[in-house]
Structure 1
């Protein structure tokens, strides 16, 4: 007799929808609607601008009210379309880079290189952890591995199991190391490349200081990981999640060919990226050149890998397809700015932000930008999407508070990069933890001290950047 009410209650419970974190696109569209509402409330205004060394800069103290147009219903969707059009160069850069790196990954060169490093350092736990971490950090720094690190976490689990370590180490040497490199991204087209193009400074300029920061951050990350790993090796009970069962490892897990062809592919890609750095300095190459160059990298890598023409085309397009989600975010983010620009309220926002920063020293103004971008990353966990939203505001703001645009770019980069490693809104983080079977709470407990160390390094670097008037070079 009581089964029917119980079934009714179960049905009602099933109908109750659990709260889910809104998708990034939902969040951005909500921000777009807020921007539309703001066009009816926020007064329109504009700064005077002047050309200095070929770059348009805001003249501080020249803000004044102007007439602006509120956004209509159809204008909302026109802004989305126009955002895609205006961001086409950046969108195709992301897509073509994804296509090129997909070909390199499918060739087996990346996995083969990692596992060869594993075999060469077998029995030397520190050097194994350091080698794998450096490889993934370099991948993050050049944009070759970011969201695509997720499947490689499984390799990290294999390595950690072979070393009698735990799943936290597995995530640390793959995902953690990738985003340690991503934090600086000295040759990352998705973050630094986009931010610098918006800030109107030379592509991948300021690389020396970024490389130094990369070395420091990655070294600290490796040392922190090793201290924890060594503690677990000495006493497995010290593991936060329990040591992995070595009996589950397959003898085939750590076997993958690393042929002369694989070495050739990796050498070609590395030399190509170095050539691009040279070309940006010598020939003033832009984002468009880089997008085109990734097509060349993809095609040549496919030929070296022995793929036929159909395989190259299909693999390249599959790589593009994987990054459609992240690429189109750029256009949606741009739509928000189009609405604000058309209504002439973007300069009003910049002026409002500049008021609390005006009384601060340039150093503290830079640190304020860093903190603000870190908080923004909770809502917009896309590096390229955040660049599209933040840099049009940070660029004139930097001019007004007396810091260089290079410092503003790095403040954005640190704010975006650091929190990717701990915010639960980061898709790659949560997916990586799922692959390794690590609860977010356990990861956050392990990651928080390292994050604080990163923050200290960022504060020092940004301070140095302000003091030396870090410019485009």
Structure 2
């Protein structure tokens, strides 16, 4: 099914050629300074330029360039895979999971809504769904030891952070930028976004809990039953054995872990860290914790190498996925797509315009899998367009949030999402089979909230 992504991209390219005339000419917007020094577009500057179709050489270089463009994400994937293999070699993950699993043994299902709520709250405040990459390696052994599977752990991490990011109660990268572009008071409409967060978190928690119960009663119903064979052997029978004991060096190593993870959160939220900075810290963390726990330098290097091997295939897929977007960018049709889709929304009846905006943002997310990047490209068009079609600007931003946010854990062009699947050992095709029913539900929820927002007076205040 991974190949279907690229077939869909090829079909969509042909559709764009037919509808936007990109074969004979290309169009572009002028780039200008936007909020917070970020590059935005001038919505009044859409002009036709000479077509520059891709050559055979350009197409041949698309995948290598995709690897180059996604190098930071690929490198991060290797590092986090190696670092957690070091932690596993020290046995401190197994010990920590054993303690936590015993505490939740009788009411294990309750850990799902608790963790989803906590992770979603963090993401909706600081706008960092990438923290799912930090959560997954810890959640997998915990969920497997409680009788669930890797898909449950992956869902807790990815769905919770995506929900928080989508609701964007205080998200500076999406809601903050969009409201600045639209001329609205920053973080206005707070109450409605809180309601959105509560509703989607409840739905997501129930969905994951339902799946987790099914897996626990029938392990073979798991989407990752065969992939989890080694993990079940390592973790699942842990609770039937005596509690694991740790030595002094392991105890000291465990005590240092909250410091490192706290430093990651602080760096992401206050220092603007992203994958490059987190990669450097995780290398340092793996070496220091490994030495404290009693591993030699040789064993630490061997653990990193083994971790690299486990995530190799997924890391390559990340680069290939990025190459799809590169082909579209080099063909100079991205701005044409944005303008054309925006024009389609303008032709819809006013009652459907908000929903059309959500669909437009959903499509564009495939090509621009960055919340802030998509806001800077689309909101300068959608904000004035909303005035014309009779949709409030606050509703247009809500449409952007729904179209952008839920798709972050669906499209394979999302770098952090694909890296998370690699770390979890879950294939994209199996994740889609698991997630698509919930995605459809969330699209329905989005339509309901957009309809409510559109008919509610004073949403721009």
TM-score (norm. length: structure 2): 0.61
**For residues 171-190 of structure 1, what are the structure 2 equivalents within 5 Å?**
173-184=152-163
SS in 1 for 2:61: helix
SS in 2 for 1:387: coil
1:354 equivalent in structure 2: 342
79-88 or 23-32: bigger deviation: 23-32
Aligned length: 394
2:91 equivalent in structure 1: 108
**For residues 72-471 of structure 1, what are the structure 2 equivalents within 5 Å?**
72-124=55-107, 127=110, 142-144=131-133, 152=141, 156=143, 159-160=146-147, 173-184=152-163, 221-222=204-205, 252=240, 255-257=243-245, 260-261=251-252, 263-280=254-271, 284-285=272-273, 287-358=275-346, 364=355, 367-369=358-360, 371-372=362-363, 387=369, 395-402=376-383, 408=400, 411-417=403-409, 448=437, 454=442
User: Aligned partners of 2:317, 2:172: CA distance in 1, in Å?
Assistant: 16
Per the TM alignment, residue 173 of structure 1 is displaced from its structure 2 partner at its CA by 4.8
Task: Tell me if the contact between 1:183 and 1:417 (Cα under 8 Å) persists in the aligned partners.
Answer: yes
Task: Tell me if the contact between 1:143 and 1:185 (Cα under 8 Å) persists in the aligned partners.
Answer: no
SS in 1 for 2:276: helix
Structure 1 residue 63 corresponds to structure 2 residue 38: no
Cα deviations by residue, 1:2-46 (Å, 9 ceiling, x for unpaired): xxxxxxxxxxxxxxxxxxx35478658857996998897262111
Task: Tell me if the contact between 2:140 and 2:150 (Cα under 8 Å) persists in the aligned partners.
Answer: no
99-108 or 29-38: bigger deviation: 29-38
Per the TM alignment, residue 400 of structure 1 is displaced from its structure 2 partner at its CA by 1.3
Task: Describe the shift of the 1:230–1:45 C-alpha distance in structure 2 as closer, same or farther (beyond 3 A).
Answer: closer
Cα deviations by residue, 1:48-78 (Å, 9 ceiling, x for unpaired): 2221342221111321211132212122122
Task: Describe the shift of the 1:211–1:175 C-alpha distance in structure 2 as closer, same or farther (beyond 3 A).
Answer: farther
TM-score (norm. length: structure 1): 0.60
Per the TM alignment, residue 457 of structure 1 is displaced from its structure 2 partner at its CA by 6.4
Task: Tell me if the contact between 1:366 and 1:462 (Cα under 8 Å) persists in the aligned partners.
Answer: no
Task: Describe the shift of the 1:316–1:148 C-alpha distance in structure 2 as closer, same or farther (beyond 3 A).
Answer: same
Per the TM alignment, residue 306 of structure 1 is displaced from its structure 2 partner at its CA by 2.8
Cα deviations by residue, 1:354-413 (Å, 9 ceiling, x for unpaired): 212346788545532565479x6xxxxxxxx9827x986664123311279998577433
User: Aligned partners of 1:103, 1:469: CA distance in 2, in Å?
Assistant: 51
User: Aligned partners of 1:108, 1:324: CA distance in 2, in Å?
Assistant: 23
SS in 2 for 1:294: helix
Task: Describe the shift of the 1:195–1:278 C-alpha distance in structure 2 as closer, same or farther (beyond 3 A).
Answer: closer
Structure 2 portions without partners, runs of 5+: 124-128, 166-170, 181-186, 223-235, 384-392, 413-419
Task: Describe the shift of the 1:279–1:103 C-alpha distance in structure 2 as closer, same or farther (beyond 3 A).
Answer: farther
Per the TM alignment, residue 276 of structure 1 is displaced from its structure 2 partner at its CA by 1.0
Task: Describe the shift of the 1:427–1:35 C-alpha distance in structure 2 as closer, same or farther (beyond 3 A).
Answer: farther
**For residues 11-26 of structure 1, what are the structure 2 equivalents within 5 Å?**
21-23=1-3
Cα deviations by residue, 1:145-174 (Å, 9 ceiling, x for unpaired): 68868964xx646534xxxxxxxx657753
Structure 1 portions without partners, runs of 5+: 1-20, 161-168, 187-191, 243-247, 377-384, 421-425
Cα deviations by residue, 1:174-216 (Å, 9 ceiling, x for unpaired): 3432333242476xxxxx99999xx9x9xxxx9x999998787
354-363 or 90-99: bigger deviation: 354-363
User: Aligned partners of 1:323, 1:461: CA distance in 2, in Å?
Assistant: 39
SS in 1 for 2:326: helix
SS in 2 for 1:69: coil
Task: Describe the shift of the 1:250–1:265 C-alpha distance in structure 2 as closer, same or farther (beyond 3 A).
Answer: closer
User: Aligned partners of 1:461, 1:105: CA distance in 2, in Å?
Assistant: 44
